[in-house]
Amino acid sequence: MPNELKEECGIAGGALYDKDQNIVPYLHKMILNLQNRGQLSSGVSTFNEKRDHLISTYKDLGSVNEVFKTQNPAKTKEIYSKYSGDRGIAHTRYATCGVASRSDAHPFERVHGRKYKWFSLCFNGNLANYSELRRKLLEKKDYHMIHNNDTEIIMHNISKTIAELDPKDNHGPGLSDVFAKLSKSFDGAYNLGMLNADGKLMALRDPLGFKPLCYSKDDEKVLFASESVALDHCGVNNVKDLQPGQILINNGDETKVERFASSPKKAHCMFEWVYFANVSSTIDESSVYVARENLGKAMARSEPLDIDDSYVVIPVPDSSKPFGDSYAYELGLPSREGLVRNRYIGRTFIEGVNRQNKVEDKFTVLKEITKGKKVLLMDDSIVRGNTSKKLVDFIKKKGQAKEVHLRISCPPIVAPCFYGIDMSTIEELIAAKFHKEVGEDISDDACERFAANQGADSLIFQKINDIPKSLGFPASDLCMACLNGDYPTEAGCELYKKAQENHKNGISRRPYEC
């Protein structure tokens, strides 16, 4: 398996009520502020009734600014002009399924002669029953799969359902009806942005609300994005969360939000607050920054060391800073920038290269802060263990630290994720080698052995019960399956059983791979 932990995609979209205005600058700005969610590729699809090609899609590999060629303002302006439209969708991607090629970049466009059957789609999540859906399509219809990813499966199923519900009135079925039917067969996480050649814009959040999705509407426009920070940077001040099982539809000057499926329970991914989301975002009325501060306070309460002025707290930048600062404040310790991040190096979990080789390129250690000190190194999680091990060695050797103690804001990750995070096998999860009691807090003995593996002088993980308390949700509203093995969907439970069998038999393949 690869060493990099990969996170979730970001989706965005919007419609401007003045048809002479251009949505592309808004789309660019929104996905730029979602860049933390993926740097593999990005793209936009826009609608313009004045073009022969009513929907036009532009996408490529690279970061958002690389794709929009912002180092050359003339080329950026040319892109804005060529793909100008009054409504559109946008995406920034990493891959949990599929490959790193331009053809797998989003949005995906499906061209058709009938305008309501011609649409473009962007997707954030992962269908846990992808293999079953794929098999059903290939068995019952003369389908040929090109991309081998769940976005293609979703598009085929949307087209199939439109055809099945088509009233033959030249307007097509209602989008709420289409997705109400699809919700009965889709199992997993799926936030969608969709645009069709009738000019309809749609945003949808799955019935369990795994991934965040929010929107804003006023007299001039409607915008939606995976995180509130993307909308904040567009100057809006009325951001609302799209609730699980809700769909937003814009048709010209009218925007409505309605329910397409019931939401019997919620399963918000706890990793959004722990690591993935921008610290400036608020998700389902819970501040990411405050959640990370709360995790730091909880960690401080469980600190067993006899702390004195020989210790220094160093958060791993950037996601661990609120966690580390809060922990340090509670213990009366300095929180110092002992690791300086090179701002021109992307997040290591996104890049398709060996993570260990990237650590020294990504960070500079300031031995003026670490030399001779007992370093409390604060990080958000340990998944495969490569980066944390390298950092400990880096700080001891280059930083000349006397000791390095790891403090992790997330409990041990011991079970795979099938809902959009690329950690799909037990074999790749280093904590599973030391901690066998899934659903319980890791023992002191296991922590000692784990610390030795990492080259650390000690290691403490967050307690499982501190996650819902810190985030401000009941445990029943969170997906913590990677911590406790409690999967919120039927297909997720089946994949976990398969993952356990694969691990037992030494098979490293992802459980949902065909």
Containing 30, the helix (H) or strand (E) segment is helix 24-32
| Helix, coil or strand: residue 406 | strand
514 is catalytic: no
Identified catalytic residue from 9, 122, 417, 447: 9
Residue 261 token pair: 């499926």
Kindly list the distances between the CA atom of residue 79 and the CA atoms of 193, 201, 211, 366, in Å, as whole numbers in the listed order.
21, 21, 30, 42
Exposure b/e, 432-446, CB count within 10 A at least 16 = b: bebbeebeebbeeeb
Residue with tokens 């069709």: 196
Report in angstroms the alpha-carbon separations of 226 from 230, 239, 308.
8, 12, 42
β-sheet bridge partners, residue 32 = none
- The tokens of 284 are what? 């389902």
Nearest to 313 by CA among 386, 303, 452, 198: 303
Cα distances (Å, whole numbers) of residue 448 to 123, 306, 375, 405: 41, 17, 17, 11
The two tokens of residue 83 are: 């793909």
Rounded Cα distance, 335 and 340, in Å: 13
| Contact assessment for residue 151 and residue 38, using Cβ atoms and an 8 Å cutoff | no
The dihedral sign for the CA sequence 149, 154, 159, 163:
positive
Catalytic residues: 9
